[in-house]
Structure 1
């Protein structure tokens, strides 16, 4: 049985009365989206019914804001949400779409059955296959690829996936490979990165995966990001921003002066090893601060000095830099805290 709560996390939401954008804690249930001013609040600030709702993604109503999607209710009220990165937006959109579809069919929420839709043999374990594909030595190599004046980082082409499946004996031919890759795509292990691969997913074709060198994909749990550029400009990037993105997302951070807690977007990069934090309601041009991680120590903690108990609860961790500066952070879940700690530990040891 699927739980009533399908997904929850931080998103940026546009006010329905004022035009301000604010971080809210969002909970997707099988029949509605609730949003809270703070994660610890017991009652929601608002509720968006999903019956007869329409989802628009991507939503391009705001030229200076990317990663926005729109939910329009049956009463034609628009609600705009903004994710912190592409992978996060696609995960929310996929589950909201499925919830709306299940409501329309009078069914209990259940993620799409890949086996029924594309007839995968019962012996295939997609989770194990995904782990093999991500192996750093024998798996699919993540690359930086250029297309339509955009740089796609940590991704790979559709034909590369099929080549790998055949070379590893997971598929006997290319048509079998496409079937397997479509299963991985439907289950969310692979994500479409470019316009071509996204269009294929949105179409009703049985094989949503494209065995093509122009179709781009990325692993669901990767540092994938896309950046636009102009070939006519030579943009100098500050040294600390040159590293590949390893992990990104929202965390609570304690301020150094007032000791108050605020939601910040964090981007972890390696080589050089930096973590930058931003106001998630604004762009990524100007970070609020950066932490040089080389030689730092990161550990889970049970409490934070100078913090009121009602302000925070659980999933806390601390970064101590090589020059003895302490940063206190809070993840939404214990699993998320562990993921961040592991990622930062690796970067702090390997990055310069």
Structure 2
């Protein structure tokens, strides 16, 4: 079976110059793309022989995490990943496949399918959903290492402990094998230099049963912050969504209940509402509202005696004086 990597990315059309979400499969000699994961045949294929990669590709002002694949026939194809680590993984594997074609060897991304035999009763997808259960699954934490803070993470030891406590494995060695399979299939992702290095190792098990080896769920809100280089900065999960709407609104303060003009930007997938000081641009958000599970209600007044600003205030009210009689 041809080795492949399955991820959802966005690619720019070469004819209509539009962006579409596609299901892309990396094989040993090309990139096949599908309209959706369940399609039996690809819509097209980009050959990798003689191709070249450009990453990061910064020509799109409003799009981040883009990389360019140029074919031997001088055709350019653009792809946008959801976050930094996803982009870097794609770029690394595509470059490896191109190099293998140049050297005449077989491309094979490291996979546990060749070295690990899992019981037929094990369903990694079902196991992953159980691990993500907010009540009984692996607990996501804010972890710190090397002056960096890793949000929505957990340790390799926590993974093994959970597998054993839920009778998924008989011992820690079996837990390492099962955890490695979850990494290989993309359900778990490494966070931090230690776990990343182990994932690239050639050993049979790449998940580390260590408290300083960090991992995260593939579709979680993981992001890293702290003292790091530009290449290592991970875009916060809340800023990944596409901008749906933006504009200025009046907003009441949390502590001092006064009203100020704020610029709001509404993003989708994930759904966040960020607000900014309109005089300082969109670089640093003053705050954010996570809209998942939120309820929006239209009201005619603000309770607790706090009222909206008068639509037509008199000069005396603006200056804080009593109106003249």
Structure 1, unmatched stretches of 5+, are 13-21, 35-46, 231-244, 258-263, 298-319, 325-352
Structure 2, unmatched stretches of 5+, are 34-44, 229-235, 249-265, 301-325
SS across alignment from 1:156: strand
Q: 1:149 aligns with which of 144, 147, 155?
A: 147
Go from structure 1 to structure 2 and tell me whether the alpha carbon gap of 1:163 and 1:90 turns closer, same or farther (over 3 Å shift): farther
SS across alignment from 1:146: strand
C-alpha contact 1:275 1:291 (8 A) present in aligned 2:
yes
Partner of 2:214: 216
Quote how far apart the aligned CAs of 1:276 are: 3.1
Q: 2:122 aligns with which of 121, 124, 130?
A: 124
Cα deviation, 1:15-54, whole Å, max 9, x if unaligned, reads xxxxxxx9955764652489xxxxxxxxxxxx97422557
Quote how far apart the aligned CAs of 1:286 are: 3.3
Query: In the aligned structure 2, how far is the partner of 1:23 from the partner of 1:139?
Result: 40
Query: In the aligned structure 1, how far is the partner of 2:64 from the partner of 2:211?
Result: 26
C-alpha contact 1:144 1:154 (8 A) present in aligned 2:
yes
- Give the TM-score normalised by the residue count of structure 2: 0.55
Query: In the aligned structure 2, how far is the partner of 1:229 from the partner of 1:83?
Result: 23
- Give the TM-score normalised by the residue count of structure 1: 0.52
Quote how far apart the aligned CAs of 1:96 are: 4.0
Q: 1:196 aligns with which of 184, 194, 197?
A: 194
Go from structure 1 to structure 2 and tell me whether the alpha carbon gap of 1:205 and 1:112 turns closer, same or farther (over 3 Å shift): closer
Query: In the aligned structure 1, how far is the partner of 2:282 from the partner of 2:122?
Result: 41
- The 5 Å alignment of 1:223-234 reads 223-229=221-227
C-alpha contact 1:267 1:277 (8 A) present in aligned 2:
no
C-alpha contact 1:156 1:217 (8 A) present in aligned 2:
yes
Query: In the aligned structure 1, how far is the partner of 2:154 from the partner of 2:97?
Result: 30
Quote how far apart the aligned CAs of 1:116 are: 3.2
Over the residues paired in the alignment, what is the CA RMSD in angstroms? 5.4
C-alpha contact 2:118 2:178 (8 A) present in aligned 1:
yes
Quote how far apart the aligned CAs of 1:162 are: 1.0
Go from structure 1 to structure 2 and tell me whether the alpha carbon gap of 1:251 and 1:176 turns closer, same or farther (over 3 Å shift): same
Quote how far apart the aligned CAs of 1:168 are: 1.5
Go from structure 1 to structure 2 and tell me whether the alpha carbon gap of 1:321 and 1:72 turns closer, same or farther (over 3 Å shift): farther
Aligned length: 252
SS across alignment from 1:196: helix
Question: Of the two, which has the highest radius of gyration?
Answer: 2
Partner of 2:135: 137
SS across alignment from 2:183: helix
Partner of 1:253: 244
Quote how far apart the aligned CAs of 1:184 are: 0.3
- The 5 Å alignment of 1:35-46 reads none
Higher mean C-alpha deviation, range 219-228 or range 85-94: 85-94
- The 5 Å alignment of 1:235-246 reads none
Quote how far apart the aligned CAs of 1:198 are: 0.6
Quote how far apart the aligned CAs of 1:251 are: 2.7
Query: In the aligned structure 1, how far is the partner of 2:269 from the partner of 2:51?
Result: 33
C-alpha contact 2:65 2:83 (8 A) present in aligned 1:
yes
- The 5 Å alignment of 1:309-320 reads none
Go from structure 1 to structure 2 and tell me whether the alpha carbon gap of 1:175 and 1:214 turns closer, same or farther (over 3 Å shift): same
Query: In the aligned structure 2, how far is the partner of 1:51 from the partner of 1:167?
Result: 48
SS across alignment from 1:191: strand
Query: In the aligned structure 2, how far is the partner of 1:112 from the partner of 1:321?
Result: 51
Partner of 2:315: none
Go from structure 1 to structure 2 and tell me whether the alpha carbon gap of 1:207 and 1:138 turns closer, same or farther (over 3 Å shift): same
Quote how far apart the aligned CAs of 1:247 are: 5.5
C-alpha contact 1:158 1:209 (8 A) present in aligned 2:
yes
Go from structure 1 to structure 2 and tell me whether the alpha carbon gap of 1:89 and 1:5 turns closer, same or farther (over 3 Å shift): closer
C-alpha contact 1:11 1:24 (8 A) present in aligned 2:
yes
Quote how far apart the aligned CAs of 1:206 are: 1.8
Partner of 1:186: 184
